[in-house]
Amino acid sequence: MAADEPLVLGIETSCDETGVGIVHGTTLLADAVASSVDTHARFGGVVPEIASRAHLEAMVPTIERALRTAGVSPKDLDGIAVTAGPGLAGALLVGVSAAKAYAYALGKPLYGVNHLASHICVDQLEHGKLPEPTMALLVSGGHSSLLLSADITSDVRPLGATIDDAAGEAFDKIARVLDLGFPGGPVIDRLAREGDPAAIAFPRGLSGSRDPAYDFSFSGLKTAVARWIEAKRAAGEDVPVRDVAASFQEAVVDVLTRKAVRACKDEGVDHLMIGGGVAANSRLRALAEERCERAGIRLRVPRPGLCTDNGAMVAALGSEMVARNRPASDLELSADSSLPVTDPHVPGRTHDHDHVHEVSKENLYS
């Protein structure tokens, strides 16, 4: 086993993307993704049973595609990592079951890892080893969190999170009100480029001096934008879609970046990592860049393809688990839809480093 550059396959099925990545240390070898997003589009959101069915169909073909792309033999893997949670229970279960079966059949250690910690760790594939500590802002349709990590394999502390909607959810809902379809993030980003972000003063949630410093709220903003649009329509006026998109987006990214930079200053952290699907938003990237530079903070944002859910991020964290000799998971590993962010991985119940090795070694090809 390569101690510092483990070869790990990672499986991600927490939502609607069937992702399989293969990394060698911090080098990305393959990132295969099959998405069922188009099937969900007409429902306006991810339908869990449709996602689970699609995962089952895509799972093994996507694993095989990743192995072919990486040009590695499964026998050479140092471990298999899988998102154990949080996420949709039925969707997670497909990935966890596949990972266990591969790990067992190949005689490889299994690492059930945390989806959120994976979103942070993926940046290692782009910008090298994570500084310790790292401040992370995770923004997507499922999460909006500020996390402080001193060691991505063992120490992830939540500083704040959304108290209602996730940031990406707000994008989707406003897109729906504007009849722009699903998902809302990319189309709002595109329209906002041609709009005036200062045209309409939408509210900044939880920004008062007595509000929690690191928590977010996007529900009030969502309602305010919807009301503003409805009032225009009721008055028979045209809705200035580009200005609404730009002003709404500005309200979201203003709060996100302001709080993230403040957290860095308060905690004395000089690196900010932004991940999750909303990190693909061009205005979020630009404003974060601007504010971090002013505050002397180094900003790390992976390329958009690594920000959305994928298997590479799971492999990246799995590889770090192997490199740091963290205990493997056992064969009873279960999918945990509400796995706490403070658990970067799910070690086996025996907490015995060699347990899974021992069980699975017997099934190694001779």
Partner 1 sequence: MDTATPAVTVALHDGEAVVASSSQVDARRHGELLLPAVDRVLKEAGLKLDAVTGVVVGVGPGPYTGLRVGLVTAAAFSSALGVPVHGLCTLDGLAYASGIDEPFAVATDARRKEVYWARYDDSRTRATDAGVDRPADIAERLAGLPVVGAGARLYPEAFPDARDPEHQSAAALAALAAEKLAAGGDGFLDPLPMYLRRPDAQVPKNYKVVTPT
The correct pick among 79, 168, 327, 347 for binding partner 1 (CB under 8 A) is 168
Q: Which region, judged by CB under 8 A, interacts with partner 1, from 89-97, 238-246, 249-257, 321-329?
A: 89-97
Cα–Cα dist 68/131, whole Å: 32
* Residue facing Zn ion at closest CB distance: 309
By CB under 8 A, the residues from 107 to 146 that bind partner 1 are 140-142
Cα–Cα dist 285/144, whole Å: 15
Cα–Cα dist 281/290, whole Å: 15
Q: Is 320 in the site for partner 1 (CB under 8 A)?
A: no
Cα–Cα dist 259/174, whole Å: 22
Tell me how far, at minimum, the Cβ of 142 lies from Zn ion, in Å: 6
By CB under 5 A, the residues from 334 to 363 that bind Zn ion are none
Q: Which region, judged by CB under 8 A, interacts with partner 1, from 82-90, 220-228, 311-319, 343-351?
A: 82-90
Q: Which region, judged by CB under 5 A, interacts with Zn ion, from 146-154, 187-195, 294-302, 304-312?
A: 304-312
Q: Is 183 in the site for partner 1 (CB under 8 A)?
A: yes
Of partner 1, Zn ion, none, which one does residue 83 interact with (CB within 5 to 8 Å by kind)?
Answer: none
Nearer to partner 1, 164 or 267 (CB): 164
Q: Cis ω on the peptide bond leading into residue 158 (within 30° of 0)?
A: no
Nearer to Zn ion, 62 or 140 (CB): 140
Cα–Cα dist 323/4, whole Å: 5
Q: Is 263 in the site for partner 1 (CB under 8 A)?
A: no
Q: Is 309 in the site for Zn ion (CB under 5 A)?
A: yes
Q: Is 79 in the site for partner 1 (CB under 8 A)?
A: no
Burial readout 130-159 (b: 16 or more C-beta within 10 A, e: otherwise): beebbbbbbbbbbbbbbbbbeebbbebeeb
Q: In the Cβ-directed half-sphere of 79, how many Cα atoms lie within 13 Å?
A: 34
Cα–Cα dist 120/237, whole Å: 44
Tell me how far, at minimum, the Cβ of 308 lies from Zn ion, in Å: 7
